[in-house]
Chain A
Amino acid sequence: MKRILAQCAKELTQFRRDQLTVALAVLLPMATLLIFGYAIRLEANNIPLAVQDLERSPTSRAFADRFYATNQFVPAHWDGRGAPEALLDAGTAKVVLIIPSDFSRRLDAGKVAPIQALIDGTDSNNARVIRNSVRQVTNFYLSTRSETAPTIALRSRLWFNPGREEALYIVPGVFALVLAIWPPLLMAIAMVREKEQGTIIQVFASSLSAAEFLLGKGLAYFLVGVAQAVAVFGLGAVLFGLRLAGDPTPLAIGTVAMLAASVSYGLFIGTRTTTQSAAVQAVATSGFLTALLLSGFIYPLSNIPFPLSLVSNIVPARYFIEITRDAFVRGTGWPGIWFAPLLLAVLGGVFFLASFRSLKRMQLPG
């Protein structure tokens, strides 16, 4: 134990000595949080909408105004000349609404009044969102017009995130992303640097065991990781108003498990690579891609097709996202996510054993 602490102390001294690393270790996670927290918006807002009103009656104008009354659409600038499709081509509007010249006549006669919405389908996901919005606004307009109430009224309500605040969805995911990338990156660099600079030979020449060496090094970067976690949780609370929704213990224990898995992953990469650039690329690519795409951060896990879905099972971020989303949004606590910290701990153990295996002889290769 004493030798593990000695190893850890030396590691922290080296870490502190390099001002740039310290700055990056603190700033990069925060920058990640800011970029993802502010830049990713899955819901469409401020969609430029143009209206070709062929009727120009009070009814058609009232209908068109309904769209601008929501915060989803904004008027697209159009002088009314030329074909409306040109607006989509030019990208000045994402959707063009064409109201036929007999719009109010047909409505007043109680007939179906067809209107046309041309939607930019370049981004199919977005197009779907826009179509739904157009439909909702139309329905709402119809319901305000009819004196007779419809027989069935659906009143849906979003549970857990009633205001549909997107930050509540994105930011807990960013926490997982940050802890999946930055601690293992620092860890892998620290590990591979010993090999690159030949300093590991003196370690081999002592009787320090592989487990002591790895634990000591890992502990140092685990502590650095704790600091990073506290920093991003704090920033999340200040900027995005995230508050704990329930029992804090799953988050605390989950974070410890996540950092253990993350740091072990860094050790694993560090013991298997020989240069810093290789280690950085390995961690950045594998950590970033999996944490972003295979963790349920943006795309639902159920959408991942078969062979890839297996990979997602060994992505630590996947389990940590469940923990953070529960802690900050759902608040069910242990009954809902008891398995996640457990699986993280298992993953951490597997990565640690893998690094131990490649280092256990404590000898030069060859």
Chain B
Amino acid sequence: MTSLHPAESLQQTAPDAPAIVVQGLVKRYKQLAAVDGIDFAVRRGEVFGLIGPDGAGKTTTFQILAGVMEPTAGTASVLGRPPRDARLKIGYITQPFSLYLDLSVDENLRYSAELKQVDEALFEERRARYLKLVDLDRFADRLAGQLSGGMKQKLALCAALIPQPEILLLDEPTTGVDPVSRREFWDVLAALSEEQVTVVVATPYLDEAERCHRVALMYGGRLESPDTPARLRAGLGLARLEVHASDLERAEQVLQTLEAVEDVQTFGDRLDVLVADPERGERAVADALSGLSPQVGRADPTLENVFVTRLRQQGSDPPLLNFPHPLRRSAPAEAVAIGAHQLGKTFGSFRAVHDLSLEVHPGQIYGLLGANGAGKTTTIKMLCGLLPPSTGSVTLAGESDGLRSSELRRRLGYMSQKFTLYDDLSILQNLEFYCGVYSVPRRLRRERIDWVIDICGLRGQENLITGQLPGGWKQRVAFGASVMHQPEVLFLDEPTSGVDPLARRQFWRLIEMFARAGTAVLVTTHYLEEAEHCHRLGFMVAGELVIQGTPGEIKARQPGQIYEVVSADLPHAARALRSLFAQASWRVALFGDRLHVVLDEPDARLAKLQAVGHTRKIEYSLEDAFIGMVQRARQEGS
């Protein structure tokens, strides 16, 4: 591994002193306590994860640690000083993105380097190094506003790294970042940690939290005592069963009533079932699902299990309520709700979308997947008539022209990546506005608005100004606003990015509920275990739809074989295996606390895998498929 940090920049205080110490920290906004007395310490070189639901107080904690906000009570010290005095040693990635959209990548980097007093010669050298590291060197002249979501986050990381901080504060840095880039991002963090950079990171992706040295769960402004992921999982006191069955939805309903079962969660194409006693539980599950050809396997609980179980104990599971007065739809199932024929879009000389054809029928959920910048958002904008295509044609709810007519627009719902709510209106005013825009009948408005407020868990807070809500909550309200009129066609562009795991599950139940009532849904997501909920998937690489099919078909069409490797020293195992593949190091990918390795000719290399850790053959997951497709395309491209 190349050295990311020259030694001279490292601090000279006692090497074993904690880098960050927080004691009795409290932050109140008027009567609301955002942070309500938290204590923790972070070792130098440690990667410290903060996980928690939306509105738990994570962002406030980061703002205090970064020295941009005063606590109401308690102390925080960074590198033995008040955070304000340590600012030049801190790199801070905020949420949302806080670089200048109207400056280019280079100009942003130069300005933030000047803010942090990096001298000119050092800047030039580091700029080149870090841009290459985050794979943005080709885009140095592009305006930040024209980068995709994931590229913006990489730029933010690059800007934070150039002053070579000793402390990195990362507030949900991988929100909206595709699975491949997320892994690259975390590889960079791991390397920095080995260079003794201290990292505090919040993330809604719990597989990422597995890569932290210690993780603390935060909710309601309080922090549970931090611990290693392994101990947190063990501390749950439950065993996990992975259950595959022919009808997951039925199986989940059956298991929820079972006494031996503590919790059931759908995760991708399987159910995660938590039981107190693995043997008894396994028998009970197998018996209960006898008609559904179950396959039950034992496994360790994941951090996601820990997180979800804890939050359910806290009672923060958002309620699932039926949509009031749903309309009956009688569109024939073979009708085309969303159709694209050889769709193409070019911006100047840049081909954003090329020759894309797809069909979505009423009641179908279609998932559009792809890396950041693959053209998903452009496609959605063309499909819902916001952007005229350069070539090809679009059919919407049976109509192929007049896509912008107000009559047709009333039958659509669109939730874009950027918040579509008015930040300076209250939640209630926003919802009332959208009721008006989409002509929800007057007699239904009250109930529909109440429904949105209830599913968001915002009862009693309707009059909060929307701009003050944490990102995940805004996302929920925006979703509510886009479905209040029960659209025939629903476009959701990364609806769940930045939303906590519990709320994400609720989102998908709601999406499925609308689909059952006849709505055609087109959705994009970077959580690939969620993509299993889709009836059909389309996979985009560089503006082209390279594969379409059901989740099962897509997994079945992947070449090679996947092996899972479990090892006590994961970083070491990963390095050992990657060196094995040289140019194709993508074949080794981290999944939480284990490795997935793709082998095209298993026989030749299997022994080497077994030498590194416990190895077993597994089925392709959608995430494996995603990584494989993106990386193979990247290799062909270069």
A323–B96 alpha-carbon span in the complex (Å):
48
Contact of A17 with B88 at beta-carbon distance under 8 Å, contacts A201-B94, A205-B68 already known: no
Per the bound structure, the CA–CA distance linking A202 and B108 in Å amounts to: 11
Q: Does A206 contact B (CB under 8 A)?
A: yes
Contact with A along B90-134 (1 / 0, CB 8 A): 101010111111110001001110111100000000000000000
The answer to the question of B600 belonging to the interface, with a C-beta cut-off of 8 Å to chain A, is no
**Complex Cα–Cα for A31 and B615 (A):** 76
A202 touches B114 (CB 8 A): no
Residues on A with beta carbons closer than 8 Å to the beta carbon of B67: 204-205, 363
The CA of A83 and the CA of B491, in the complex, are separated in Å by 74
* CB atoms of A199 and B114 under 8 A apart: no
Residues of B within 8 A of A201 (CB): 63, 66, 68, 92, 94, 98
Which residues on the B side are within 8 Å of A206 (C-beta)? 87-88, 112, 115-116
Instruction: Tell yes or no: B444 within 8 A of A by CB.
Output: no
Residue pair A199, B99 in contact (C-beta under 8 Å) = yes
Per-position contact with B for A204-215: 1 when CB-CB < 8 Å, else 0? Answer: 111110000000
A126 contacts chain B at the CB level, 8 A cutoff:
no
A198 pairs with B96, CB closer than 8 A: yes
A14:B100 contact, CB within 8 angstroms: yes
> A137 interface residue, CB < 8 Å from B?
no
**Residues from 165 to 212 in A contacting B, C-beta threshold 8 Å:** 197-208
Which of chain A's residues have a CB closer than 8 A to the CB of B112? 202, 206
Q: Which residues of B contact A366 (CB under 8 A)?
A: 29, 69
Q: Say whether, besides A201-B94, A275-B424, A17 and B103 are in contact (CB < 8 Å).
A: yes
Of all chain A residues, which has the CB nearest B111? A10
Interchain CB contact (< 8 A) of B87 among A197, A198, A205: A205
Closest Cβ neighbor of A364 among chain B residues: B69
A151 close to B (CB within 8 Å): no
Residue pair A203, B102 in contact (C-beta under 8 Å): no
Contact between chains at B103 and A14 (CB < 8 Å): yes
Q: A6-B114, A10-B111, A13-B107 are contacts. A202–B99 as well, Cβ < 8 Å?
A: yes
Query: CB-CB < 8 A to B94: which residues of A?
Result: 198, 201-202
A200 vs B100: C-alpha distance when bound (angstroms): 10
Return the chain B residue nearest A277 by Cβ.
Answer: B424
Q: Are B68 and A363 in contact (CB under 8 A)?
A: yes
Let me know if A3 is at the binding interface, CB within 8 A.
yes
Within A303-361, the residues touching B (CB, 8 Å) are 361
Q: How far is the CB of A345 from chain B (nearest CB, A)?
A: 29
Question: Which single residue of chain A is at the shortest CB-CB distance from B96?
Answer: A198
Per-residue CB contact flags for chain B residues 60-99 toward chain A (1 = under 8 Å, else 0) read: 0001001111100000000000000001101010101111
Residues of B within 8 A of A7 (CB): 114
Tell me the complex Cα distance, A201–B64, Å: 12
Is A18 part of the contact surface with B, judged by Cβ < 8 Å? Answer: yes
Q: For residue A3, give the distance in angstroms from its CB to the closest CB of chain B.
A: 6
CB distance from A21 to the nearest CB of B (A): 10
Whole-angstrom distance between the Cβ of A274 and the nearest chain B Cβ: 9
**Is there an interface contact between A208 and B107, defined as CB atoms closer than 8 Å?**
no
Q: Is the CB of B102 within 8 A of A208?
A: no
Q: How far is the CB of B434 from chain A (nearest CB, A)?
A: 21
Taking the nearest CB of chain A, how far is it from the CB of B127, in angstroms? 15
Given contacts A206-B115, A363-B68, contact A199 B100 (CB under 8 A): yes
User: Which of B94, B111, B424 counts the most chain A CB atoms within 10 A?
Assistant: B111
List residues 1-35 of chain A with CB under 8 A from any CB of chain B: 2-3, 6-7, 10, 13-14, 17-18
A179 to chain B, nearest CB (A): 26
Closest to A361 in B: B70
CA distance A292 to B424 in the complex (A): 32
Annotate B135-179 by CB proximity to A: 1 below 8 A, 0 otherwise.
000000001000000000000000100000000000000000000
A6 touches B68 (CB 8 A): no
Inter-chain contacts of B87 with A (CB < 8 A): 205-207
**Bound CA span A286–B413, Å:** 42
| Chain A: CB-nearest residue to B112 | A202
Give the complex CA separation of A200 and B103 in angstroms: 15
The interface residues of chain B lying within 8 Å CB-to-CB of A202 are: 92, 94, 98-99, 112, 115, 159
CB distance from B74 to the nearest CB of A (A): 16
**Contact call A18/B29, Cβ cutoff below 8 A:** no
Residues of chain A within 8 A (CB-CB) of B143 are 17
Report chain A residues within 8 Å CB of B92.
201-202, 205
Assess A197 versus B101: contact at CB under 8 Å? Given A10-B107, A205-B68.
yes
**Complex formed: what's the CA distance from A345 to B107 in Å?**
34
How far apart are the CA atoms of A203 and B68 in the complex, in Å? 9
Q: Which residue of B lies closest to A5 (CB)?
A: B114
B108 to A: closest C-beta gap in Å: 9
List A contacts of B103 (CB < 8 A): 10, 13-14, 17
Note all chain B residues with C-beta closer than 8 A to A197: 98, 100-101
* Chain B residues within 8 Å of A198, by CB: 94, 96-98
Interface residues of B in 378-437 (CB under 8 A from A): 424
When C-beta atoms are compared, the residue in chain B nearest to A200 turns out to be B98
B115 with A199: CB separation less than 8 A: no
| A186–chain B nearest beta-carbon distance, Å | 14
Considering the complex, give the chain A residue whose CB is closest to the CB of B88. A207
Rounded to whole Å, the gap between the CB of B475 and the closest CB of chain A is: 17
Write out the residue numbers on chain A whose beta carbons fall within 8 Å of the beta carbon of B63: 201, 364
**Across-interface contacts of A204 in B (CB, < 8 A):** 66-68
State how many angstroms separate the Cβ of B556 from the closest Cβ of chain A.
Answer: 45
Q: Are A3 and B114 in contact (CB under 8 A)?
A: yes
A203 and B100 CA atoms in complex are apart in Å by: 11
Mask: chain B, 30-49; 1 = CB below 8 Å from A; 0 = not: 00000000000000000000
| A208–B63 CA distance with the chains assembled, in angstroms | 17
A1, B94: Cα distance in complex, Å: 28
Interchain nearest-CB distance for A198 vs B (Å) = 5
Choose one: A203, A361, A363; the contact of B115 (CB below 8 Å): A203
For residue A18, which residues in chain B have a CB less than 8 angstroms away from its CB?
102
A14 / chain B contacts, CB cutoff of 8 Å: 100, 102-103
Please indicate the chain B residues that have their CB under 8 angstroms from the CB of A362 in the complex: 68
What residues on A are CB-neighbors of B107 within 8 Å? Answer: 10, 13
The answer to whether B98 touches A363 (Cβ under 8 A) is: no
**Closest B residue, CB atoms, query A6:** B114
Given contacts A18-B102, A201-B98, contact A363 B90 (CB under 8 A): no
- What residues on A are CB-neighbors of B98 within 8 Å? 197-202
A205 touches B66 (CB 8 A): yes
Shortest beta-carbon distance from A281 to chain B in Å: 13
Option from A3, A207, A363 in Cβ contact (under 8 Å) with B69:
A363
Of B88, B97, B102, B111, the contact of A6 (CB 8 Å cutoff):
B111
B492 CB, min distance to chain A CBs, angstroms: 25
User: A207 to chain B: which residues have CB within 8 Å?
Assistant: 87-88, 115-117
Docked complex Cα distance between A208 and B117 (Å): 9
Residues from chain B with Cβ under 8 Å of A275 in the complex:
424
Q: Which residue of B lies closest to A3 (CB)?
A: B114
When C-beta atoms are compared, the residue in chain B nearest to A206 turns out to be: B115
With a cutoff of 8 Å between Cβ atoms, the chain A residues found around residue B97 in the complex are 198
Chain B residues contacting A17 (CB-CB under 8 Å) are 102-103, 143
In the complex, A207→B103 CA distance in Å?
21
Q: 10 closest pairs, A vs B, by CB?
A: A206-B115, A6-B114, A204-B68, A198-B98, A10-B111, A205-B92, A364-B69, A17-B102, A201-B98, A205-B66
A residues with CB within 8 A of B: 2-3, 6-7, 10, 13-14, 17-18, 197-208, 275, 361-364, 366
Q: A10-B114, A198-B94, A364-B63 are in contact. List 17 more A-B contacts (CB 8 A).
A: A6-B111, A6-B115, A10-B103, A10-B107, A13-B103, A17-B102, A17-B143, A18-B102, A197-B100, A198-B96, A198-B97, A202-B98, A202-B112, A206-B116, A208-B115, A363-B70, A364-B68
Where the two chains meet, the residues of B that have a C-beta atom closer than 8 Å to any C-beta of A are 29, 63, 66-70, 87-88, 90, 92, 94, 96-103, 107, 110-112, 114-117, 143, 159, 424
6 A-B residue pairs with Cβ-Cβ distance under 8 Å, sorted by A, are A198-B94, A198-B97, A201-B68, A202-B112, A202-B159, A207-B87
